[in-house]
Amino acid sequence: MIHQIRSTDGTGTLSYLLVDEQSRHALIIDPNKEDLDAIVKLVKEQRATLRYIIETHTHVDHVSAAHELKNLFGAQLLMHENTKNKWKIVSEGERFGIAETLRANAAMEVDRYVNDGETLSIGGITCTFLYTPGHTDNHISVLYEDNVFTGDLLLIGQAGRSDLPGGNVEDHYDSLTKKILSLPESTKIWPGHDYEGNTFSYLRDEKRTNPFLQQPTKEAYAKFVSEFFPPLAESIAGGKMTIQCGVQRVISNSREPFKSITPDELETLMKTTPNLVLLEVREPFELMAFGKIPGVVNIPTEQLLSRMNELPQDTSTPIVCICQSGSRSYEVAHYLATRAGYRTVYNLDEGTFGWVQSGKKVERGSVKI
């Protein structure tokens, strides 16, 4: 069972609690100190025994909760072998104003160092560690069945920076092309950050849409990265700065043949429009794991063309397209309005995530993923 913990501290940090259903033993990946209360609550709700903490790398944008979780649960901290050189990047972080965060993370005692190809098993869960440097020189990704937790190496629609202390753009390119792209296309990508409300993405979709995975050479990749990310400003007089490891995407819907609506607007439509269709385009297991707005009809994006007959034949029927963040539903709304002929199409901006953030209820369940 995978449980995703989304930070509310503005860093876009995502942590993951993996719980073995039989033994109730658990591990957590990239816990954020700001989310400590939520993590502890989740562990207790799951009646889990937290055995291991995995940090994919030494973070620059938030302080890890590993120290507190070690003390609370007696869990062991695992990181890559190169973490032994962690104090070197602390001094490098001074000029960017991030030494304080690096110092706090470097002070944590690592119980086990891991290398590429090593595994960790708890109950029925077996994880394989992939050494994926580039964002930092101690970065690992964690492979579990058809899931890969990519930390700050690969994000949804983009990738992490490689110009921070310990980063290297050529290593980053090699990690993406030789490690991540060698995985099956059905692999689910679970990133360490997301700034759009996404939960995960399939590798096949990232290969198709993520420009970081489409650069043909290291030289082309380095040029693309240098133009994609804003330059890092150096700290003035030792000041403290907050670093964002990716960038927030800005999309304008002004020319689209459908309307983007807020959660409040959707709530009003649900009360005033009897024939309104709520089309939820996520996978069924996402609805079970992360919740769904009551009354939705579920047709996953990839099944839309083969299941169009399940939608109303009357093209004047109003349809609201919904996903976790508003990204997948945006594409579906565009298709329904431009290709399928529906005249009243809406996209729920910020998706179910925005719905929940605005205080509205979802139906929840549990599912093995």
Q: What is the CATH number of the domain that holds 343?
A: 3.40.250.10
Indicate if 315 and 183 belong to the same structural domain: no
* Angle, alpha carbons 218-219-225 (nearest 5°): 85
User: What residue type is 319 in one-letter code?
Assistant: I
What average pLDDT does this structure show over 265-282?
A: 95
| Domain shared by 276 and 224, yes or no | no
Share above pLDDT 70 across residues of the chain, in percent, rounded to a whole number: 91
Q: What is d(CA 153, CA 173) in angstroms, rounded to the nearest whole number?
A: 10
- Residue 250 placed within a domain: no
* Mean pLDDT on 254-282: 89
Look over the chain and give the mean of its residue pLDDT values, rounded to a whole number. Answer: 88
pTM value surpassing 0.85: no
- Residue 165 belongs to domain with CATH number: 3.60.15.10
CA 154: distance to chain centroid? 9
In a domain, 144, yes or no: yes
Window from 215-219, 240-244, 338-342 with minimum mean pLDDT? 240-244
pLDDT at 364 over 80: no
Q: Has residue 368 got a pLDDT over 60?
A: no
**Residues 212 and 89 placed together within one structural domain of the fold:** yes
Q: Which of 41-45, 150-154, 231-235, 362-366 has the lowest mean pLDDT?
A: 231-235
Cα–Cα distance for residue pair 185/206, rounded to 1 Å = 9
341 domain residue, yes or no: yes
Interval 168-180 mean pLDDT: 97
Question: How many whole angstroms separate alpha carbon 73 and alpha carbon 80?
Answer: 22
